[in-house]
Chain A
Amino acid sequence: MEMVIVAPPTPGRLEDLRRRFFATPLQTLLSLISLAIMVFVVWKLLNWAIFSAVFTTSGGPEACQAAAGACWSVIAARWRIILFGLYPFEEQWRSALACIAVVVMTVLSCIPAFWTGRRIALVWGTGAGLYYVLMKGGVLGLPHVGEEAWGGLALTLFIFVTTCLIGFPLAICLALLRRSDLPWISRTTGLIIDGVRSLPLISILFTFAVVLPFALPQWMVGDKLYRVIFGSALFFSAYQAEIVRGGMQGVPKGQEEAAMALGMSYWQRIGRILLPQAMRNALPATINQFVISFKETSLVVIVGFFEILASGNAAYGTGEWRFAYVEVYAFIAMIYFVFVFSLSRYGAFLERRMSVGER
């Protein structure tokens, strides 16, 4: 008798579909429900956002209101307010350039070639400096524009960047202080970190914006914007410090002991042995913290800043565009989505990349 081994027949396309989506009655039901939801939502959305939407400003708000779909003309009419806030109209190109500088800086710092302490500091320092000069002016023939006129996306980005720029070094300091061998130093720092973490960000922003002027000598009060940025940096650093500490705990104890045996000083041990490895361990969580803090910049609207959310409220809040709130919020949500989603995808990519290295 002869045995013939035959490969199982490869399933046809229809058979493949049946196996994937309609294998059992329950699967079939689930597939159908999911499909129905998807088709319904996608159709409704497309219909609203594209097919019956109005794109031009020519008809004015009236033509828009009559249409069944979205009224994108509100964006066409008000995009400058949303993106740049109250920045002087003729100077808004500077605001746009400043935004681009910050975005380029963020993209550059995502490239592994820039991941040494010096290079990353250089990139961020240049980016932030460029932003500041462009926005504030007063040099190189650019007219001076005070902080109170900054607004929209430019302000959101500024708050985010400065929060990270101040918060990150502060976080490393806090993490180092917390793991100190001296009990009073580590305990006090722990108290500060846990105290800040237990409070909602809004209450900290409020305290820094409204209450702090009472509690500081006159010469230290400064601009409200910088106080709020400092508050948000403090909040960021409290969370980031715990992430850095987690990364440090992941570094084997032998590493530091070996460094000590080689006669390295404290700062050499920290700067050359501990921190590089700790930051590597902490990178995915750090990116996640950046994502969270980017979303949380939107909270400054509560202490009265004209960032992108507030300028969006203003864009539809007055006059003839009152009905077009969904479009304005959708536009802002899209901007946030682009930033946050790409950042969090990048974080997921890093996580995969690193886990490959470990195997």
Chain B
Amino acid sequence: MISLLRNQRVRNTLLQVLYVGSLSGLVLACVMIARRNLAEQGITSGFDFLFKSTGWDVNFSLLPATANDPYWWYFLIGIVNTLFLGTVGLMLATIVGTIVGLARTSSNELARLLGRTYVDIFRNIPLILQVFFWYAVITHLPTPRAAHEAFGMLLTSRGLYLPIPNVGRAALVAAVVAIIAAVALPAWLGRTSRLSQPIGERLGIQLTAAATALATAAVILAFGRLPDLPLLDFPALQGLNLKGGLRIPPEFSALAIAIAIYGGSYIAEIVRGGFKAVGKGQMEAALSLGLSPWRVFTLVRLPLALRAMLPILANQYVWLMKATTMGIAVGFTDFFMIVALTINHSGQTLEAIGILMTGFLGINLSLAAVFNRVNKAIALKGNQLRG
């Protein structure tokens, strides 16, 4: 027996079996106990509850939602909300981060100081504190009766009200797509044609593309317009409440602002690191080739910096996506809050936790896949020396 234990292969196998076995035994025991405890409370395990109606409401949803909807629909709403808040937060944070990061790498001392102060302050205050702060600020805004007004927008304690065009839902979505195309097309054309055409010609093509897309958007909006209503739907006071317009609830705006400011300070550091990683010789070479400072920036500095920062940026984006779970602190119905509410109302604890884990695993993996694709697409082709 002892000599068997001395055998390295036997010992290694035994160790592995023990390790994996005890861990899986632990998990299994937990699940068994939980099932028994839940069964005592009259909760049967299984995924049947997904098709029962929930009986409670969500306060924010991009998809139509009523209390009669089944649980699976609510989970979908949660994921869509999380992705939507995440995307908006990421875009805002990227804009803030790029501006601050550029300020931090600028040759101007004052701009550098400003950027540094921003990063030092907002990076060192927990995100959830910032969420609470902005939520308090927004909910302490005046009531609808005494709302702040600017350009038809209303700022009230019940949220931000924006005027929206009076058009059908499908037309609105199509128009948004066309407007995105108007921005994306020129950029894409600029990338594909690179330096093969003279600048003037390229600019003409880009402008035409943008104008065509915008014109398409205008046509879609004109045709999709709801009859007998003014072009824009302005929010207005009716009784004690506001009617019309698009309402952005305080929960959403507080989270989006906080993520933009906090995430922006992290992204600023990534942007700065990316620009620092570009070799000085590269820029000097470009300048000595006679490129203008603007073209040195767009053709040499930015592309190289982007490659350096993308992997770190991807991690940061995944982190920010997970940070949307702070929605529960202010009552924004993101994916996590839906799961928590499901556990409260239906008691299907194990299933809900399983769905939560699968959901976040899915979100993380798909983000990672997207970034890997982007990384590969912009990687320098062929073998070359670094630096």
User: Does A336 lie within 8 Å of B140, measured CB to CB?
Assistant: no
User: Does B136 lie within 8 Å of A203, measured CB to CB?
Assistant: no
Is B325 on the interface with A (CB-CB < 8 A)?
yes
Is B63 on the interface with A (CB-CB < 8 A)?
no
User: Does B114 lie within 8 Å of A341, measured CB to CB?
Assistant: no
Query: Which chain A residues lie closer than 8 Å to B121 at the CB level?
Result: 337
Which applies to chain A's interface (DSSP): helix, strand, loop or mixed?
helix
Query: Which chain A residues lie closer than 8 Å to B349 at the CB level?
Result: 211, 214
User: Does A202 lie within 8 Å of B336, measured CB to CB?
Assistant: yes
**Complex formed: what's the CA distance from A31 to B107 in Å?**
10
- Which of A90-98, A102-110, A258-266, A292-300 participates in binding chain B? A292-300
- Which of B14-22, B87-95, B231-239 participates in binding chain A? B14-22
Query: Which chain A residues lie closer than 8 Å to B12 at the CB level?
Result: 182
Question: Which of chain A's residues 289-307 have a Cβ closer than 8 Å to chain B?
Answer: 295-296, 298-299, 301-302
User: Does A333 lie within 8 Å of B129, measured CB to CB?
Assistant: yes
Residue among A37, A188, A202, A329 making CB contact with B326, cutoff 8 Å: A202
Is A200 on the interface with B (CB-CB < 8 A)?
yes
Is A35 on the interface with B (CB-CB < 8 A)?
yes
User: Does B110 lie within 8 Å of A185, measured CB to CB?
Assistant: no
Known: A38-B114, A214-B349, A336-B129. A326 touches B108 (CB 8 A): no
Is A119 on the interface with B (CB-CB < 8 A)?
no
Is B323 on the interface with A (CB-CB < 8 A)?
yes
Which applies to chain B's interface (DSSP): helix, strand, loop or mixed?
helix
Query: Which chain A residues lie closer than 8 Å to B360 at the CB level?
Result: 198-200, 203
Query: Which chain A residues lie closer than 8 Å to B123 at the CB level?
Result: 344
Chain B residues touching A, range: 35 or more
Is B141 on the interface with A (CB-CB < 8 A)?
no
**Complex formed: what's the CA distance from A128 to B113 in Å?**
39
User: Does A210 lie within 8 Å of B125, measured CB to CB?
Assistant: no
User: Does A337 lie within 8 Å of B124, measured CB to CB?
Assistant: yes
Known: A200-B325, A211-B353, A214-B38. A329 touches B364 (CB 8 A): no
**Complex formed: what's the CA distance from A336 to B114 in Å?**
21
Query: Which chain A residues lie closer than 8 Å to B37 at the CB level?
Result: 214-215
Nearest Cβ on chain B to A341's Cβ, whole angstroms: 5
Is A340 on the interface with B (CB-CB < 8 A)?
yes
Nearest CB in chain B to that of A181: its residue: B12
Query: Which chain B residues lie closer than 8 Å to A192 at the CB level?
Result: 23
Query: Which chain B residues lie closer than 8 Å to A79 at the CB level?
Result: none
Residue among B125, B132, B137 making CB contact with A313, cutoff 8 Å: B132
**Complex formed: what's the CA distance from A139 to B22 in Å?**
39
User: Does A301 lie within 8 Å of B128, measured CB to CB?
Assistant: yes
User: Does B16 lie within 8 Å of A185, measured CB to CB?
Assistant: yes
Query: Which chain B residues lie closer than 8 Å to A200 at the CB level?
Result: 322-323, 325, 336, 360
Nearest CB in chain B to that of A212: its residue: B30
User: Does B110 lie within 8 Å of A31, measured CB to CB?
Assistant: yes
**Complex formed: what's the CA distance from A302 to B123 in Å?**
21
User: Does B336 lie within 8 Å of A203, measured CB to CB?
Assistant: yes
Nearest Cβ on chain B to A138's Cβ, whole angstroms: 32
Nearest CB in chain B to that of A322: its residue: B140
Residue among A30, A202, A333, A336 making CB contact with B110, cutoff 8 Å: A30
Nearest Cβ on chain B to A277's Cβ, whole angstroms: 25
Question: Which of chain A's residues 22-47 have a Cβ closer than 8 Å to chain B?
Answer: 27, 30-31, 34-35, 37-38
User: Does B126 lie within 8 Å of A295, measured CB to CB?
Assistant: yes
User: Does A185 lie within 8 Å of B19, measured CB to CB?
Assistant: yes
Query: Which chain B residues lie closer than 8 Å to A215 at the CB level?
Result: 30-31, 33-34, 37
Known: A302-B329, A323-B140. A182 touches B133 (CB 8 A): no
Is B343 on the interface with A (CB-CB < 8 A)?
yes
**Complex formed: what's the CA distance from A94 to B343 in Å?**
39
User: Does A325 lie within 8 Å of B124, measured CB to CB?
Assistant: no
**Complex formed: what's the CA distance from A225 to B104 in Å?**
42
Query: Which chain A residues lie closer than 8 Å to B284 at the CB level?
Result: none
Is A54 on the interface with B (CB-CB < 8 A)?
no
Q: What is the 8 Å Cβ interface bit string for chain B, positions 309-336, against chain A (1 contact, 0 not)?
A: 0000000000000110110110000001
Nearest Cβ on chain A to B294's Cβ, whole angstroms: 11
Query: Which chain B residues lie closer than 8 Å to A199 at the CB level?
Result: 322, 356-357, 360
**Complex formed: what's the CA distance from A295 to B323 in Å?**
13
Residues of A within 8 A of B (CB): 20-21, 27, 30-31, 34-35, 37-38, 177, 182-185, 188, 192, 195, 198-203, 206-207, 210-211, 214-217, 295-296, 298-299, 301-302, 309, 313, 323, 325-326, 329, 332-333, 336-337, 340-341, 344
A-B contact pairs, 25 of them (CB 8 A): A27-B107, A31-B111, A34-B108, A34-B111, A184-B16, A184-B19, A184-B20, A185-B16, A185-B19, A198-B364, A202-B336, A206-B336, A210-B343, A214-B38, A216-B33, A299-B128, A299-B326, A302-B128, A302-B328, A309-B126, A309-B132, A313-B132, A326-B137, A337-B124, A340-B125
20 further contact pairs, Cβ within 8 A, besides A215-B30, A340-B124 = A21-B108, A27-B108, A31-B110, A182-B15, A198-B361, A200-B360, A202-B326, A202-B328, A203-B325, A210-B343, A211-B343, A214-B37, A215-B31, A216-B33, A299-B326, A309-B129, A309-B132, A325-B133, A333-B129, A341-B124
Residues of B within 8 A of A (CB): 12, 15-16, 19-20, 23, 30-31, 33-34, 37-38, 103, 106-111, 113-114, 120-121, 123-129, 132-133, 136-137, 140, 322-323, 325-326, 328-329, 336, 339-340, 343, 349-350, 353, 356-357, 360-361, 364
